[in-house]
Structure 1
């Protein structure tokens, strides 16, 4: 029985993503695990107004942004030869969505990139730290270095 059977790779499309992608490829190959991919869309522009929060719904811009994110996900997925039915592009809070998909798909290892945090960012935490503390499976946080 392999150490890991199903790895979920979480990407944010930062320039350093290639580091965690390469390590996920190697680990999946070494363990014989199947590999899945997730990207969580969490940056919805929501300006405050005196009457509450308004979500600007410019259909053309939203559609173009979504298509760009889909294209990036498919490029990574194609490069890793991940079956399209094991690729997720979801809206929401990254920690919650990564953990939700991991539980739904019976993932036994989540791989995420982790940047060194300092000051206020260290106190507030990160997606990697939050996933580490809430996931029911193993989590591998890959330290990302600036290119």
Structure 2
């Protein structure tokens, strides 16, 4: 094994993720690995008729997430080409991205609140089960 070559930091850009940025960058530097960052925007459920309105809402949410991710990634020194915003759930959207980018390690941040979704929150748990590569969970 030659070590990890491409990391994917899955973030919701929360305070917990902000607190692990230095660790993420350090891991990528130590392994001399490429670093990509992804933020998932949960799809708007269609509770009411009006596809155009829902499409507009999803487009504006995706654009806002892209802008926020650009700012977030400045601390990681990650170029725009390595930043990804996906309108999907982490569980459903992660596998395709990991495969298409050739990622061999997914990194996620986790807050330390004990909210008995036991041990791991539902999003963290979904990512661990969706990724077909190693997953590193960093605590804040």
Q: Normalized against structure 1, the TM-score is what? A: 0.77
Return the match for 1:74 from 67, 70, 73. 70
Pair 1:33–1:55, CA change in 2 (3 A): farther
Pair 1:44–1:5, CA change in 2 (3 A): same
- The 8 Å contact of residues 2 and 33 in structure 1, kept in 2 or not, is answered as no
Q: Which residue of structure 2 aligns with residue 22 of structure 1?
A: 22
Instruction: Name the CA distance, whole Å, in 1 between partners of 2:50 and 2:13.
Output: 24
* RMSD of aligned Cα (Å): 2.7
Instruction: Name the CA distance, whole Å, in 1 between partners of 2:56 and 2:132.
Output: 39
Pair 1:2–1:81, CA change in 2 (3 A): farther
Matched residue SS, 1:29 = helix
Pair 1:44–1:31, CA change in 2 (3 A): same
Pair 1:124–1:8, CA change in 2 (3 A): closer
Shift in Å at residue 109 of structure 1? 0.3
Instruction: Name the CA distance, whole Å, in 1 between partners of 2:60 and 2:126.
Output: 30
Q: Which residue of structure 1 aligns with residue 108 of structure 2?
A: 112
Q: Which residue of structure 1 aligns with residue 89 of structure 2?
A: 93
Instruction: Name the CA distance, whole Å, in 1 between partners of 2:55 and 2:132.
Output: 37
The answer to whether 1:38 aligns with 2:38 is: yes
Name the larger-Rg structure: 1
Q: Which residue of structure 1 aligns with residue 12 of structure 2?
A: 12
Q: Normalized against structure 2, the TM-score is what? A: 0.81
Shift in Å at residue 92 of structure 1? 0.6
